């Protein structure tokens, strides 16, 4: 969050902040800390914790796997039990050895990210003070819990501009349909940024 705030301060005028997944939670926390730095936010499926911890018992197991020197097992727990990737998608990823080896290397960083999210606690009421326009973005094919989280956030934020669900996309539309996402961001930015 401090890096986001430092960049916003360097720009020196309100900007549109865009965050995906845990980056969207970072965006929320930055806006909570310094709302006047931002003209608006686009948040793509932030994994907030409205009523229960994000990782809970699964995160305890993932941390134990890392402590035991098994980052692959930690990543498996992250994908299956925390993110709730579909069984077929997980089997595809797991069945490609070079891909799985690479993903396993990300295990420690991913679990550190999960731990940081978990440290924010449960409940969204603090985001009721984020008084800037927000566009919430989601994927029609994303895991269902992400839509639940998005809807819970929409109920708390005071200035929801819109909720856009990309019908044929999942949690990675930023990578799979970047032009579509960029178009949504640009249209929103045109609406909320001060005119010269």
Q: Write out pLDDT tens, residues 10-49.
A: 999 999 999 999 999 999 999 999 999 999 999 999 999 9
Side by side, the strands of the sheet bearing 15-20 are 15-20, 38-44, 134-139, 160-166
Nearest C-alpha neighbor of 132 from the set 44, 30, 50, 11? 30
Residue 196 is predicted with a pLDDT of: 77
Secondary structure class of 54 (helix, strand, coil): coil
> Could you give all domains of the chain from N- to C-terminal order, each with its CATH number?
2-51+128-192 (3.40.50.1820), 56-118 (no CATH)
> pLDDT-derived band of residue 164, with 50, 70 and 90 as boundaries?
very high
CA distance 176 to 160: 25
Query: Would the pTM count as exceeding 0.95?
Result: no
194 pLDDT band (50/70/90 cuts)? confident
Higher pLDDT, 84 or 195: 84
Phi, psi angle pair for 27, to nearest 5°:
-60, -45
Mean pLDDT of the chain: 96
Q: What is the mean pLDDT of residues 73-91?
A: 94
Higher pLDDT, 191 or 195: 191
**91 falls in which pLDDT band (50, 70, 90)?**
very high
What whole-number distance in Å separates Cα of residue 28 and Cα of residue 124? 11
pLDDT digits (tens, 9 = 90+) for 115-157: 999 999 999 999 999 999 999 999 999 999 999 999 999 999 9
pLDDT band at 174 (very low <50, low <70, confident <90, very high): very high
CA dist., res. 48 & res. 43, Å (int) = 11
């Amino acid at each position: 969050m401090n890096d986001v705030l430092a960049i916003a301060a360097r720009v020196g005028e309100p900007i549109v902040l865009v965050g995906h997944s845990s980056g969207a939670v970072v965006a929320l926390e930055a806006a909570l800390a310094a709302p006047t730095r931002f003209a608006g936010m686009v948040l793509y499926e932030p994994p907030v914790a409205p009523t229960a911890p994000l990782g809970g018992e699964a995160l305890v197991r993932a941390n134990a796997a890392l402590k035991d020197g098994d980052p692959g097992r930690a990543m498996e727990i992250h994908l299956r039990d925390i993110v709730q990737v579909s069984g077929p998608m997980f089997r595809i990823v797991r069945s490609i050895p070079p891909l799985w080896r690479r993903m396993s290397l990300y295990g420690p960083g991913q679990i550190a990210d999960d731990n940081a999210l978990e440290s924010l606690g449960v409940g969204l009421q603090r985001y009721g003070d984020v008084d800037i326009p927000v566009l919430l973005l989601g994927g029609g094919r994303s895991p269902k819990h992400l839509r639940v989280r998005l809807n819970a956030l929409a109920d708390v934020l005071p200035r929801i501009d819109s909720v856009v669900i990309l019908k044929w996309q999942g949690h990675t539309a930023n990578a799979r349909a970047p032009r579509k996402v960029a178009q949504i961001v640009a249209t929103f930015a045109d609406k909320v940024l001060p005119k010269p």
